[in-house]
Amino acid sequence: MTHTARRSTVADRPAARATAAVLLALLALPAPTARADDVVFEHVTVLDGTGADPLPDHTVVVSGDRIVRVTPSADAAPLPASLDDPVVVDGTGRVLMPGLWDLHAHPDDPEVWHLDPPAAEKERFLELFVAAGVTGVRDMGGDLELLASWKRRVAAGELVGPHLVFGGPLVDGPEPMWPGSVAVGSAEDGRAAVDDLVARGVDFVKVYSLLPRDGFLAIAERCRELGVPFAGHVPRSVTVEEAAEAGMTSQEHLLGMVRATADPDALAAALAAIPDDLEGTARRNAEIDALVDAADPERTRALAATMARLGVAHVPTLVLWHRRAWFDATAPRVASWLPLMPPTIRAWWDPAENIHLSSLSEESMAGERRLFGRYVELVAALHDAGVVLLPGTDTGGNPHLFPGASVHDELELLVDAGLSPMEAIVAATSASARLCRRPDRGVVAEGMVADLVLVDGDPLADIRATRDVRVVVAGGRLLDEAALAELLRPWDERAR
């Protein structure tokens, strides 16, 4: 059987597809998402996501939602007989790697529920993840029914979006911090919460800051009994080590680790020396100074070794802390992505409106920058100890955290903190998929789900090359450069 391939460069697709994209845009319909039943990437360098050496000048064949062949281009083997008129993408000089993951995101963030954003604005987050090459997202708190609906609609091709793994509502203390959370005031409440969420189909249980000690430990025990992962914040009622020993799959945001790695006597003395009448930003900065000045290298190494021994992963969300320490709407990365965001989120990110920015000032950011430096030191120590570090952004209501784009910023920050570019890529691909219990994703290999991103440049030489996305295949759906350009149009232009 012979095949007639539709040959394509990344920048030049057939006129019919371009015309269709224009018509869809004029009708204000979602961007085109052609079913990539047959795609052939030729002459690409493959980073397979496992940490193996790059594979230069390879051909990768996608059929349906699966990768069916990864071979040297020089082999020139006939295409599989099952292929039907494949699109051929010339990847000469470019790198093909697995689609990236964001392991801490809130596309349906309870923080903004009171603003009642329209459905299209929430779905915009899903589009932008994929447009930036992020094909997998672990949602860390949102409406369970909406998340399940999104997952079904993405799988059916009705929505452009990443593969979603979700825990549904946050499980918090008896007076939860955010709306929609499950309130837990006792061990009995904790066990009942796990049973209910598992019955409703969650992939894991998300624990939060205000959980009482007995409730948290009961959740951990019940999750172990049912074989369900639990992850999230280290509650204030337990130590970082206790949370790890309880079996958390991942801990988020480095919560509790600055205090846990401080010399307790030095910290107590420094905190006691803060004047009682010191308030607001001045008190916050004095407390930061006390915590950072009391940092104990030996305690830091010991805690990192414990985390490694217990096998708990960490999602530090450095980009979250960086944005708070350097809040600047004119910064190039921020200014270029702000117009893409829906209006409700842009309005919420105004310092006059946002709860995270209510005390924003140069003085407050100076303190947060000092704390950020300590976070970077902790990430370096965790990395040196062999702790699995994974990329997450906390995108949602948090200011200037952009779906998809901020994953690339997080990778850069992880590399700055000591990971090699290859380690960062593995973290964002196969390691993330493995933690999410998706063993058929995150690797460029035969039989794997076709989540792929083609980028310009060499990410191993400069991790920022992951930002230059030219083609995305998300669950077998091809988005070429024309489709990506449509997704990346400013919101106000798309809405007209």
Residue 151 tokens, joined: 């997952």
* DSSP β-bridge partners for residue 54: none
d(C-alpha 259, C-alpha 282), whole Å: 19
The pLDDT tens digits for 182-220 are: 999 999 999 999 999 999 999 999 999 999 999 999 999
Does 165 have pLDDT greater than 50? yes
pTM above 0.75, yes or no: yes
With tokens 């490694």, the residue in question is: 308
Does 24 have pLDDT greater than 70? no
Does 273 have pLDDT greater than 90? yes
With tokens 């049973």, the residue in question is: 195
Of 79, 83, 209, 91, nearest to 141 by C-alpha is 209
Residue 79 pLDDT: 81
Does 26 have pLDDT greater than 60? no
Residue 3 pLDDT: 36
With tokens 């990506």, the residue in question is: 484
Residue 35 pLDDT: 53
134-161: average pLDDT: 97
Does 9 have pLDDT greater than 50? no
* Cβ atoms of residues 407 and 425 within 8 Å: no
The pLDDT tens digits for 87-101 are: 999 999 999 999 999
d(C-alpha 393, C-alpha 401), whole Å: 7
Q: Which residues touch 461 (CB under 8 Å, ≥6 apart)? A: 421
Residue 495 pLDDT: 59
CB atoms within 10 A of CB 331: 12
The pLDDT tens digits for 75-133 are: 867 887 778 788 999 999 999 999 999 999 999 999 999 999 999 999 999 999 999 99
Does 6 have pLDDT greater than 60? no
Residue 494 pLDDT: 79
Residue 1 pLDDT: 32
Residue 77 pLDDT: 79
Residue 75 pLDDT: 87
The pLDDT tens digits for 344-377 are: 999 999 999 998 998 999 999 999 999 999 999 9
Q: Is 358 exposed, middle or buried (0-12, 13-18, 19+ CB in 10 A)?
A: exposed
Of 2.30.40.10, 1.25.40.10, 2.170.120.30, 1.10.3720.10, the CATH number of 6-98+443-495 is 2.30.40.10
48 Cα distance to chain centroid: 19
